[in-house]
Amino acid sequence: MDQLIRGYIHTFYSDSRIMFSLSVLLLTLVLLNSRLLISAETVVTCDGFVQYLSCGTGVISVQSATYGRTSGQICSVGRPQSQISNTWCSINVPMIFKRCNGLRTCGLNTQGLSTPDPCFGTYKYYTTNYICITAETSVTCHGGYGYLKCKHGKIQINTANYGRTDKTTCSQGRPSQQLQNTNCFSPNALDFVSKSCNGLEICEVYATHMIFTDPCFGTYKYLAISYFCLPHRIHSRIVCEHETSALTCEHGTVIHIQSANYGRTDSSTCSNGRPPAQLSKTDCYTLNSQTVVASRCEGKSSCSILASNSVFSDPCFGTFKYLNISYSCVSK
């Protein structure tokens, strides 16, 4: 990490009749070696209104998403004291991560988005932290072929879903009833696309229920993919849960973390001797994986990292996890 640019805070307040929205631009990181611009934002939205995430460049990568109340001032206009006094109320909202990751823009109606209610009687709000990461995107309507291509480097799948998360994509000429379900996710899309395309320069994927599980019968679906083009000289490490691995670079170069995830995205990696129940969940991510690995390894000639819940937290209880790291060695 070569340069840290001081962030600024922008707050917009509205009256009690319209949505209150707080947008905080936390910081901007300029990684000169990778020429990657990452902006980190926090968006706070009062319960019942639309939360809008957007990336001018790149795609959304949600770092954390919570629902509750931790402040007596936010979303408090016109509210009685009894509805804002409990400031020890917060739960994670994985649906925001699932709905928005890999998209350039994401609008979420927060009405009924999170269950159960973490503090009945308290007026709550959603707090989402996300970054914009450089990635390619591909959207293919049902029955078509998606083509992924890297001119320089190898494909590394970031997100993939066969289903529907909005009413406008692949909607032309379709009856309204085929577009209403926007909470439609195929459970095997990421696993299949990753196994088919990772490490290739060109990859073709057929968007059909004959390959992917049909998650919402009667809904017209599409295949949405985001992916990175990793340089050819990329090193990778798979570290099974409870194990430690070392990352090293040759003399005169230092580690630059390209991607990292502690969780599970397929059923075969680190599976030896494990019961099926510990391997079946393949959409398991720890949102801050790359941040944690980078904090220990970025800019060093060598480092060691432990794949453990104590380091990354537990994103999917009962699943046997592994740490998947991609990194390059760059000049000091």
Asked whether residue 24 carries a pLDDT value surpassing 60, the answer given is no
**C-alpha separations of 83 from 92, 110, 125, 212 in Å:** 20, 18, 12, 45
Range from 70-74, 114-118, 242-246, 316-320 carrying the lowest mean pLDDT: 114-118
Is-contact 63 92, C-beta < 8 A?
no
Q: What is the pLDDT of residues 132-161, one digit of tens each?
A: 888 899 999 999 999 999 988 889 888 999
pLDDT for 57-112, tens place per residue?
888 988 888 999 999 999 999 999 999 999 999 988 888 988 898 888 999 888 87
**What's residue 247's pLDDT?**
95
Residues of the chain above pLDDT 90, percent: 56
Query: In the numeric block, which tokens belong to residue 30?
Result: 């300029």
Query: Residues with Cβ < 8 Å from 328, sequence gap 6 or more?
Result: 34, 231, 233, 234, 235, 255, 256, 258
Instruction: Give me 321's structure tokens.
Output: 């996890």
**Which pLDDT does position 28 carry in this prediction?**
29
What's the CATH superfamily of 3-133? Answer: Rhamnose-binding lectin domain (RBL) (2.60.120.740)
**pLDDT at residue 16 tops 80:** no
For residue 57, the model assigns a pLDDT of 80
pLDDT digits (tens, 9 = 90+) for 25-40: 233 222 222 333 345 7
Q: What is the pLDDT of residue 37?
A: 39
pLDDT band at 17 (very low <50, low <70, confident <90, very high): very low
Q: Examine residue 116 and say whether the peptide bond preceding it is cis (omega within 30 degrees of 0).
A: yes
- As given in the structure block, the two tokens for residue 178 are 């085929």
Enter the pTM of the model.
0.63
Alpha-carbon gap, residue 253 to 36, rounded angstroms: 19
Average pLDDT of the residues in 11-22: 33
CATH architecture group of domain 235-331:
Sandwich (2.60)
For residue 232, the model assigns a pLDDT of: 66
- What would the 3-class secondary structure string for the chain be? CCEEECCEEEEECCCCCCCCEEEEEEEEEEECCCCEEEEEEEEEEECCCEEEEECCCCEEEEEEEEEEECCCCCCCCCCCHHHCCCCCEEEECHHHHHHHCCCCEEEEECCCCCCCCCCCCCCCEEEEEEEEECCEEEEEECCCEEEEECCCCEEEEEEEEEEECCCCCCCCCCCHHHCCCCCECCCCHHHHHHHHHCCCCEEEEECCCCCCCCCCCCCCCEEEEEEEEECCCCEEEEEECCCEEEEECCCCEEEEEEEEEEEECCCCCCCCCCCHHHCCCCCECCCCHHHHHHHHHCCCCEEEEECCHHHHCCCCCCCCCEEEEEEEEEEC
Class of domain 136-230: mainly beta
**Domain pair 136-230 / 235-331, same fold:** yes
Q: Can you tell me the mean pLDDT for 178-190?
A: 92
- pLDDT reading at 223 higher than 90: yes
Average pLDDT over residues 4-10: 30
Separation CA 270–CA 80 (nearest Å): 53
Q: Parse the chain into domains and list their residue ranges.
A: 3-133, 136-230, 235-331
Token duo for residue 2: 């070569």
Report the DSSP pairing between strands 21-31 and 8-12: antiparallel
Average pLDDT over residues 45-68: 90
Q: Within 10 Å of residue 60's Cβ, how many Cβ atoms?
A: 26
Tell me the per-residue pLDDT of 267-323, one tens digit each, with 9 for 90 and over: 889 999 999 999 988 888 887 898 899 999 999 999 999 999 999 999 899 999 999
pLDDT at position 265 is 86
What is residue 274's predicted lDDT score, i.e. its pLDDT? 93
If you average pLDDT over every residue of the chain, what do you get?
A: 84
- Beta 154-163 vs 302-306: how paired, if at all? unpaired
The mean pLDDT value for 7-15 works out to 31
Percent above pLDDT 70 for the chain: 88
Buried b (16+ CB within 10 A) or exposed e, 219-256: bbbbbbbbbbbbeeebeebebbbeeeeebebeeeebbb
* Confidence (pLDDT) at 23: 34
Greatest CA separation for the chain:
63
